[in-house]
Structure 1
Amino acid sequence: MLIPREKVPQLELNLINGTKWKMDAQDNGSFTMIVFYRGLHCPICKKQLEELSQKLNKFIDRDVNVVAISMNDEKTAQKTAEEWNIPELPLAYGLTKQQATDWGLYLSKGISDKEPEQFSEPGLFLVKPDRTLYAASVQTMPFARPSFDDILSMIDYVEKENYPARGELQLQAEEQFA
Protein backbone atom coordinates (compact mmCIF):
# COMPACT_ATOMS: atom_id res chain seq x y z
CA MET A 1 0.00 0.00 0.00
CA LEU A 2 1.29 3.45 -0.88
CA ILE A 3 1.49 5.85 2.05
CA PRO A 4 0.96 9.62 1.78
CA ARG A 5 4.18 11.61 2.31
CA GLU A 6 6.30 8.61 1.26
CA LYS A 7 7.98 8.06 -2.12
CA VAL A 8 5.95 6.45 -4.87
CA PRO A 9 7.46 3.70 -7.05
CA GLN A 10 9.52 4.75 -10.02
CA LEU A 11 7.58 4.58 -13.24
CA GLU A 12 8.76 4.81 -16.83
CA LEU A 13 6.53 3.99 -19.81
CA ASN A 14 6.29 4.64 -23.52
CA LEU A 15 3.90 7.31 -24.77
CA ILE A 16 1.94 6.92 -28.00
CA ASN A 17 3.86 9.87 -29.50
CA GLY A 18 7.07 7.80 -29.53
CA THR A 19 8.66 9.34 -26.43
CA LYS A 20 9.00 8.05 -22.89
CA TRP A 21 7.19 9.27 -19.79
CA LYS A 22 9.32 9.12 -16.64
CA MET A 23 8.20 9.93 -13.13
CA ASP A 24 11.63 11.36 -12.32
CA ALA A 25 11.60 13.61 -15.38
CA GLN A 26 8.45 15.52 -14.43
CA ASP A 27 9.14 19.21 -14.00
CA ASN A 28 8.80 20.84 -10.63
CA GLY A 29 5.16 21.83 -11.02
CA SER A 30 2.74 21.65 -8.14
CA PHE A 31 1.82 17.99 -8.75
CA THR A 32 1.96 15.14 -11.20
CA MET A 33 -1.46 13.57 -11.70
CA ILE A 34 -1.41 9.98 -12.88
CA VAL A 35 -4.70 8.58 -14.10
CA PHE A 36 -4.60 4.81 -14.47
CA TYR A 37 -7.44 3.63 -16.71
CA ARG A 38 -8.73 0.17 -17.58
CA GLY A 39 -8.22 0.39 -21.35
CA LEU A 40 -9.90 0.84 -24.69
CA HIS A 41 -12.67 -1.62 -23.82
CA CYS A 42 -14.02 0.60 -21.01
CA PRO A 43 -16.73 3.17 -21.89
CA ILE A 44 -16.42 4.79 -18.46
CA CYS A 45 -12.69 5.29 -19.05
CA LYS A 46 -13.53 6.92 -22.39
CA LYS A 47 -15.88 9.35 -20.67
CA GLN A 48 -13.33 10.05 -17.89
CA LEU A 49 -10.39 10.67 -20.22
CA GLU A 50 -12.45 12.80 -22.59
CA GLU A 51 -13.49 14.95 -19.62
CA LEU A 52 -9.87 15.16 -18.49
CA SER A 53 -8.80 16.15 -21.98
CA GLN A 54 -11.35 18.99 -21.96
CA LYS A 55 -9.97 20.21 -18.61
CA LEU A 56 -6.31 19.55 -19.36
CA ASN A 57 -5.50 23.26 -19.70
CA LYS A 58 -6.96 23.92 -16.24
CA PHE A 59 -4.49 21.42 -14.81
CA ILE A 60 -1.64 22.84 -16.86
CA ASP A 61 -2.55 26.35 -15.61
CA ARG A 62 -2.07 24.99 -12.08
CA ASP A 63 1.35 23.51 -12.96
CA VAL A 64 0.04 19.95 -12.80
CA ASN A 65 1.75 17.39 -15.03
CA VAL A 66 -0.83 14.90 -16.32
CA VAL A 67 -0.55 11.43 -17.82
CA ALA A 68 -3.07 8.64 -18.47
CA ILE A 69 -1.73 5.07 -18.26
CA SER A 70 -3.07 1.60 -19.07
CA MET A 71 -1.90 -1.97 -19.50
CA ASN A 72 -2.91 -1.77 -23.19
CA ASP A 73 -0.27 -2.59 -25.76
CA GLU A 74 0.97 0.06 -28.19
CA LYS A 75 -1.48 -0.82 -30.98
CA THR A 76 -4.47 -0.68 -28.63
CA ALA A 77 -3.26 2.57 -27.04
CA GLN A 78 -2.91 4.12 -30.51
CA LYS A 79 -6.45 2.98 -31.32
CA THR A 80 -7.64 4.59 -28.07
CA ALA A 81 -6.13 7.90 -29.14
CA GLU A 82 -7.75 7.62 -32.57
CA GLU A 83 -11.23 6.65 -31.35
CA TRP A 84 -11.52 8.81 -28.23
CA ASN A 85 -11.60 12.61 -28.18
CA ILE A 86 -8.34 13.05 -26.23
CA PRO A 87 -6.03 14.84 -28.70
CA GLU A 88 -3.63 16.53 -26.25
CA LEU A 89 -3.71 14.04 -23.38
CA PRO A 90 -0.38 12.26 -22.80
CA LEU A 91 -1.22 8.57 -23.15
CA ALA A 92 1.18 5.90 -21.86
CA TYR A 93 0.86 2.18 -22.41
CA GLY A 94 2.43 -1.11 -21.41
CA LEU A 95 1.93 -0.93 -17.65
CA THR A 96 2.94 -4.33 -16.28
CA LYS A 97 1.10 -6.36 -13.66
CA GLN A 98 4.01 -5.77 -11.29
CA GLN A 99 3.93 -2.00 -11.82
CA ALA A 100 0.16 -1.98 -11.32
CA THR A 101 0.41 -3.85 -8.02
CA ASP A 102 3.37 -1.68 -6.92
CA TRP A 103 0.99 1.28 -7.27
CA GLY A 104 -1.74 -0.50 -5.33
CA LEU A 105 -4.03 -1.00 -8.32
CA TYR A 106 -6.45 -3.89 -8.43
CA LEU A 107 -6.18 -6.35 -11.31
CA SER A 108 -9.13 -7.95 -13.08
CA LYS A 109 -9.56 -10.85 -15.45
CA GLY A 110 -11.57 -10.20 -18.59
CA ILE A 111 -15.15 -11.50 -18.38
CA SER A 112 -16.11 -11.11 -22.04
CA ASP A 113 -14.45 -11.19 -25.42
CA LYS A 114 -14.57 -7.36 -25.43
CA GLU A 115 -12.16 -7.16 -22.48
CA PRO A 116 -8.46 -8.00 -22.47
CA GLU A 117 -7.37 -11.14 -20.67
CA GLN A 118 -6.27 -8.99 -17.73
CA PHE A 119 -6.11 -5.30 -16.92
CA SER A 120 -5.81 -2.89 -14.01
CA GLU A 121 -8.76 -1.18 -12.45
CA PRO A 122 -8.74 2.65 -12.28
CA GLY A 123 -6.70 4.77 -9.94
CA LEU A 124 -5.81 8.43 -9.66
CA PHE A 125 -2.69 9.67 -7.87
CA LEU A 126 -1.41 13.15 -7.09
CA VAL A 127 2.33 13.11 -6.56
CA LYS A 128 4.39 16.02 -5.26
CA PRO A 129 7.56 17.15 -7.07
CA ASP A 130 9.71 15.31 -4.50
CA ARG A 131 7.96 12.10 -5.71
CA THR A 132 5.98 11.64 -2.51
CA LEU A 133 2.34 10.66 -2.59
CA TYR A 134 -0.07 13.47 -1.82
CA ALA A 135 -3.44 11.83 -2.57
CA ALA A 136 -4.81 8.65 -4.12
CA SER A 137 -8.13 7.18 -5.19
CA VAL A 138 -8.15 3.52 -6.18
CA GLN A 139 -11.18 1.58 -7.42
CA THR A 140 -11.91 -2.15 -7.55
CA MET A 141 -14.27 -1.62 -10.50
CA PRO A 142 -14.92 1.04 -13.14
CA PHE A 143 -17.52 3.02 -11.18
CA ALA A 144 -17.45 6.01 -8.76
CA ARG A 145 -14.34 7.89 -9.87
CA PRO A 146 -13.39 11.29 -8.47
CA SER A 147 -14.58 14.36 -10.35
CA PHE A 148 -11.90 16.44 -12.07
CA ASP A 149 -13.69 19.61 -10.92
CA ASP A 150 -13.33 18.38 -7.33
CA ILE A 151 -9.65 17.67 -7.91
CA LEU A 152 -9.09 21.13 -9.38
CA SER A 153 -10.83 22.71 -6.36
CA MET A 154 -8.75 20.56 -4.04
CA ILE A 155 -5.52 21.64 -5.72
CA ASP A 156 -6.53 25.30 -5.38
CA TYR A 157 -7.30 24.85 -1.68
CA VAL A 158 -4.17 22.82 -0.98
CA GLU A 159 -1.94 25.38 -2.66
CA LYS A 160 -3.62 28.36 -0.96
CA GLU A 161 -3.65 26.84 2.53
CA ASN A 162 -0.43 24.80 2.25
CA TYR A 163 -2.53 21.83 3.34
CA PRO A 164 -0.45 18.70 4.08
CA ALA A 165 -1.01 15.22 2.70
CA ARG A 166 -3.24 13.18 4.99
CA GLY A 167 -3.56 9.47 5.74
CA GLU A 168 0.09 9.05 6.68
CA LEU A 169 -0.45 7.23 9.99
CA GLN A 170 -0.21 3.45 9.88
CA LEU A 171 -1.10 0.98 12.59
CA GLN A 172 1.77 -0.72 14.33
CA ALA A 173 1.67 -4.53 14.20
CA GLU A 174 0.51 -4.79 17.82
CA GLU A 175 -2.35 -2.33 17.15
CA GLN A 176 -3.65 -4.27 14.14
CA PHE A 177 -4.75 -7.24 16.22
CA ALA A 178 -5.75 -5.55 19.47
Structure 2
Amino acid sequence: MPTLVPNQSVPDFTVAMTDGGKFQLSQRAGDNFTLLLFYRGLHCPICKGQLRDLQRKLGDFAERGVMAVAISMDDQGRAQKSAEDWGIDELMLGYGLGEDTARQLGLYMSAGRPDSPEPARFSEPALFLVRPDQTLYFASVQSMPFTRPPLDQLLQGIDYALANDYPARGELG
Protein backbone atom coordinates (compact mmCIF):
# COMPACT_ATOMS: atom_id res chain seq x y z
CA MET A 1 0.00 0.00 0.00
CA PRO A 2 1.57 3.33 -1.01
CA THR A 3 2.00 5.82 1.78
CA LEU A 4 1.87 9.56 1.29
CA VAL A 5 4.92 11.40 2.59
CA PRO A 6 4.83 14.94 3.98
CA ASN A 7 6.08 17.62 1.56
CA GLN A 8 5.21 15.40 -1.41
CA SER A 9 2.20 15.85 -3.70
CA VAL A 10 -1.15 14.40 -2.77
CA PRO A 11 -2.79 12.77 -5.82
CA ASP A 12 -5.54 14.89 -7.31
CA PHE A 13 -9.03 13.42 -7.17
CA THR A 14 -12.64 14.45 -7.65
CA VAL A 15 -15.75 13.33 -5.77
CA ALA A 16 -19.40 14.28 -6.02
CA MET A 17 -20.89 16.33 -3.19
CA THR A 18 -24.23 15.91 -1.43
CA ASP A 19 -25.06 19.53 -2.39
CA GLY A 20 -24.93 18.54 -6.06
CA GLY A 21 -21.49 20.00 -6.75
CA LYS A 22 -18.07 18.41 -7.10
CA PHE A 23 -14.94 18.59 -4.99
CA GLN A 24 -11.60 18.44 -6.79
CA LEU A 25 -8.55 18.73 -4.57
CA SER A 26 -6.55 20.80 -7.06
CA GLN A 27 -9.42 23.28 -7.50
CA ARG A 28 -10.56 23.88 -3.89
CA ALA A 29 -7.77 24.83 -1.53
CA GLY A 30 -7.93 26.74 1.73
CA ASP A 31 -5.64 29.74 2.16
CA ASN A 32 -3.38 27.74 4.47
CA PHE A 33 -4.64 24.16 4.32
CA THR A 34 -7.36 21.90 3.03
CA LEU A 35 -8.56 19.48 5.69
CA LEU A 36 -9.54 16.15 4.13
CA LEU A 37 -11.46 14.02 6.59
CA PHE A 38 -12.05 10.53 5.22
CA TYR A 39 -14.83 8.77 7.10
CA ARG A 40 -16.08 5.19 7.03
CA GLY A 41 -19.67 5.93 6.02
CA LEU A 42 -23.26 5.95 7.18
CA HIS A 43 -22.82 2.77 9.25
CA CYS A 44 -20.27 4.36 11.62
CA PRO A 45 -21.55 6.10 14.78
CA ILE A 46 -18.04 7.36 15.59
CA CYS A 47 -17.94 9.07 12.19
CA LYS A 48 -21.26 10.73 12.98
CA GLY A 49 -19.78 12.29 16.12
CA GLN A 50 -16.59 13.33 14.36
CA LEU A 51 -18.40 14.98 11.44
CA ARG A 52 -20.78 16.80 13.77
CA ASP A 53 -17.79 18.05 15.78
CA LEU A 54 -16.06 19.22 12.60
CA GLN A 55 -19.22 21.00 11.45
CA ARG A 56 -19.40 22.84 14.82
CA LYS A 57 -15.77 23.93 14.38
CA LEU A 58 -15.94 24.98 10.70
CA GLY A 59 -15.70 28.65 11.70
CA ASP A 60 -12.61 27.94 13.82
CA PHE A 61 -10.93 26.23 10.89
CA ALA A 62 -12.01 28.97 8.44
CA GLU A 63 -10.48 31.63 10.74
CA ARG A 64 -7.17 29.82 10.27
CA GLY A 65 -7.47 29.62 6.49
CA VAL A 66 -8.47 25.96 6.50
CA MET A 67 -11.20 24.65 4.21
CA ALA A 68 -12.68 21.34 5.38
CA VAL A 69 -14.37 18.52 3.47
CA ALA A 70 -15.48 15.06 4.66
CA ILE A 71 -15.36 12.22 2.12
CA SER A 72 -16.47 8.58 2.07
CA MET A 73 -16.78 5.69 -0.34
CA ASP A 74 -20.55 5.64 0.30
CA ASP A 75 -22.87 5.95 -2.68
CA GLN A 76 -25.09 9.00 -3.12
CA GLY A 77 -28.05 7.55 -1.22
CA ARG A 78 -25.99 6.62 1.84
CA ALA A 79 -24.18 9.97 1.80
CA GLN A 80 -27.46 11.90 1.57
CA LYS A 81 -28.86 9.84 4.44
CA SER A 82 -25.75 10.63 6.51
CA ALA A 83 -26.19 14.35 5.83
CA GLU A 84 -29.89 14.23 6.76
CA ASP A 85 -29.74 11.86 9.74
CA TRP A 86 -26.61 13.43 11.23
CA GLY A 87 -27.63 17.05 10.64
CA ILE A 88 -24.67 17.75 8.36
CA ASP A 89 -25.81 20.81 6.44
CA GLU A 90 -22.78 23.12 6.48
CA LEU A 91 -19.80 20.76 6.18
CA MET A 92 -19.02 19.82 2.58
CA LEU A 93 -19.79 16.12 2.25
CA GLY A 94 -18.24 14.16 -0.61
CA TYR A 95 -19.12 10.64 -1.64
CA GLY A 96 -18.20 7.97 -4.15
CA LEU A 97 -14.46 7.92 -3.46
CA GLY A 98 -13.16 5.04 -5.57
CA GLU A 99 -11.19 2.20 -4.07
CA ASP A 100 -8.22 2.87 -6.38
CA THR A 101 -8.09 6.50 -5.22
CA ALA A 102 -8.47 5.45 -1.58
CA ARG A 103 -5.51 3.12 -2.01
CA GLN A 104 -3.43 5.83 -3.75
CA LEU A 105 -4.09 8.02 -0.72
CA GLY A 106 -2.87 5.22 1.56
CA LEU A 107 -6.22 4.61 3.26
CA TYR A 108 -6.82 1.27 4.92
CA MET A 109 -9.62 -0.78 3.33
CA SER A 110 -12.06 -3.07 5.10
CA ALA A 111 -14.59 -5.68 4.02
CA GLY A 112 -18.06 -5.21 5.40
CA ARG A 113 -19.33 -7.76 7.88
CA PRO A 114 -22.36 -9.64 6.55
CA ASP A 115 -24.24 -9.27 9.85
CA SER A 116 -23.95 -5.46 9.87
CA PRO A 117 -25.10 -2.40 7.90
CA GLU A 118 -21.54 -1.96 6.56
CA PRO A 119 -21.11 -1.79 2.78
CA ALA A 120 -19.16 -4.55 1.04
CA ARG A 121 -15.96 -2.43 1.00
CA PHE A 122 -15.10 0.87 2.63
CA SER A 123 -12.11 2.89 3.75
CA GLU A 124 -11.11 3.38 7.36
CA PRO A 125 -10.74 6.91 8.76
CA ALA A 126 -7.98 9.34 7.89
CA LEU A 127 -7.34 13.03 8.28
CA PHE A 128 -4.97 15.04 6.09
CA LEU A 129 -3.91 18.67 6.01
CA VAL A 130 -2.89 19.57 2.46
CA ARG A 131 -1.14 22.82 1.59
CA PRO A 132 -2.45 25.02 -1.24
CA ASP A 133 0.34 23.67 -3.49
CA GLN A 134 -1.21 20.21 -2.94
CA THR A 135 1.64 18.87 -0.82
CA LEU A 136 0.94 16.90 2.32
CA TYR A 137 1.53 18.68 5.64
CA PHE A 138 -0.13 16.34 8.17
CA ALA A 139 -1.55 12.82 8.00
CA SER A 140 -3.33 10.56 10.44
CA VAL A 141 -4.32 7.28 8.78
CA GLN A 142 -6.11 4.68 10.86
CA SER A 143 -6.84 0.98 10.52
CA MET A 144 -9.63 1.05 13.13
CA PRO A 145 -12.64 3.29 13.66
CA PHE A 146 -11.74 4.43 17.18
CA THR A 147 -9.24 6.92 18.67
CA ARG A 148 -9.52 9.79 16.17
CA PRO A 149 -7.32 12.90 16.40
CA PRO A 150 -9.15 15.45 18.60
CA LEU A 151 -10.08 18.47 16.48
CA ASP A 152 -9.31 20.91 19.31
CA GLN A 153 -5.74 19.60 19.41
CA LEU A 154 -5.55 19.89 15.63
CA LEU A 155 -6.65 23.54 15.84
CA GLN A 156 -3.95 24.19 18.46
CA GLY A 157 -1.38 22.50 16.23
CA ILE A 158 -2.42 24.59 13.24
CA ASP A 159 -2.08 27.75 15.36
CA TYR A 160 1.42 26.73 16.39
CA ALA A 161 2.42 25.72 12.87
CA LEU A 162 1.22 29.00 11.35
CA ALA A 163 2.72 31.21 14.10
CA ASN A 164 6.11 29.47 13.98
CA ASP A 165 6.38 28.51 10.30
CA TYR A 166 6.63 24.95 11.59
CA PRO A 167 7.71 22.48 8.90
CA ALA A 168 5.94 19.26 7.99
CA ARG A 169 7.32 16.36 10.01
CA GLY A 170 7.81 12.76 8.86
CA GLU A 171 9.22 13.96 5.55
CA LEU A 172 11.91 11.25 5.56
CA GLY A 173 9.21 8.61 5.05
TM-score, normalised to structure 1's length? Answer: 0.93
Contact 2:30 / 2:67 at 8 angstroms: preserved in 1?
no
Residues 1:165 and 2:159 aligned together: no
Structure-2 change in CA distance of 1:2 and 1:87 (3 Å): same
Tell me the residue number matched to 1:124: 127
Tell me the residue number matched to 1:175: none
- Among all aligned residue pairs of Structure 1 and Structure 2, give the percentage whose two residues are the same amino acid: 52
Tell me the residue number matched to 2:33: 31
Within 1, Cα distance between the matches of 2:29 and 2:124? 27
Within 1, Cα distance between the matches of 2:49 and 2:20? 25
Within 1, Cα distance between the matches of 2:138 and 2:116? 34
Contact 2:36 / 2:128 at 8 angstroms: preserved in 1?
yes
Deviations 1:15-56 (A, max 9, x none): 011111011112451000000000000000001001111111
Residues 1:48 and 2:53 aligned together: no
Structure 1 SS opposite 2:15: strand
Query: Structure 2: where are the runs of 5+ without partners?
Result: none
Tell me the residue number matched to 2:136: 133
Counterpart amino acid of 2:130? V
Tell me the residue number matched to 1:73: 75
What is the count of residue pairs matched by the alignment?
170
Residues 1:149 and 2:152 aligned together: yes
Within 2, Cα distance between the matches of 1:47 and 1:28? 24
Deviation at 1:85?
2.3
Counterpart amino acid of 2:169? R
Within 1, Cα distance between the matches of 2:30 and 2:148? 27
Structure-2 change in CA distance of 1:59 and 1:28 (3 Å): closer
Deviations 1:85-107 (A, max 9, x none): 22200000000110110110000
Between 150-159 and 21-30, the greater mean CA deviation after superposition: 21-30
Within 1, Cα distance between the matches of 2:49 and 2:29? 28
Within 2, Cα distance between the matches of 1:143 and 1:165? 25
RMSD: 0.9
Counterpart amino acid of 2:40? R
Structure 2 SS opposite 1:156: helix
Query: Structure 1: where are the runs of 5+ without partners?
Result: 171-178
Counterpart amino acid of 2:10? V
Deviations 1:106-156 (A, max 9, x none): 000011331111100000000001100000001101011100001100000
TM-score, normalised to structure 2's length? Answer: 0.96
Within 2, Cα distance between the matches of 1:86 and 1:148? 17
Greater Rg over alpha carbons, structure: 1
Deviation at 1:70?
0.1
